[in-house]
Structure 1
């Protein structure tokens, strides 16, 4: 039987130019502890960039009506990246177990290795997922 969908060995690379909007102080007005932090690439955006790179890797291989959602991340952030440098994320799908996809991750800026680790995503049926979220939201008191 022919296997369909994402398979181990799939690799994908993305690049991102770090600008002011991707720095630690820019993370959120709702989280004031970040306001006076160093003006470097934020770990929150590093994680989002890794997630986006994994999404790009598998999206063309998913069945119609499916997407992936992030369920686990274990990433280092071992070097600061200043505004103006480019970050490159390289991901490799190393394990597929049912709907669970596990990626090995490496990120580099123009000078240093800045992150290594793993990220997991699960394939979801978008319609069922949206129905579940709507039902959960309906239990919240106004």
Structure 2
């Protein structure tokens, strides 16, 4: 795998904001999952995790070569407060450990009322072409 464009160092911080819309709520996750249909219309944990991943991806974007991407490998977060439609959630991530291609982020999410989530997220740097080739090989 080729080296990253810039020096990837611990201490990298990035944040993103998400305005919670109806499509981000538990009842709207997947129509096929009927168990969610009568749940409260608040930000779904699945969407929160996706938003955290998205925040990490954007924070790393300028530091990877065009051939590189990152994939999530582990999520360990709390989801301690509901966020209704119309509120904004801010995810803040900090790269705290680099072990070869493995990256560890500390994560916090807040909305207007306070803490929504905190924990860690691990990602791995991959070579996109090799990764996709492997998928095709293993899928046959």
TM exceeding 0.5: yes
Aligned to 1:8: 10
Give how far 1:6 is off.
2.1
Q: Secondary structure at the match of 2:58?
A: helix
User: In 2, are the aligned partners of 1:5 and 1:63 still within 8 Å (CA)?
Assistant: no
Aligned to 1:84: 86
Aligned to 2:59: 57
Where in structure 1 are there 5+ consecutive unaligned residues? Answer: none
CA distance in 2, matches of 1:123, 1:96: 10
**Any residues of structure 2 matched to 1:1-142 within 5 Å, and which?**
4-138=6-140
For this pair of structures, how many residues does the alignment match? 136
Give how far 1:69 is off.
0.2
Q: Secondary structure at the match of 2:43?
A: coil
Give how far 1:4 is off.
3.9
Q: What is the CA RMSD across the aligned residues, in angstroms?
A: 1.2
Q: Secondary structure at the match of 2:50?
A: helix
Give how far 1:112 is off.
1.6
Give how far 1:35 is off.
1.0
CA distance in 2, matches of 1:24, 1:132: 34
User: In 2, are the aligned partners of 1:5 and 1:62 still within 8 Å (CA)?
Assistant: no
CA distance in 1, matches of 2:41, 2:66: 41
TM-score by length of 2: 0.94
CA distance in 1, matches of 2:8, 2:82: 33
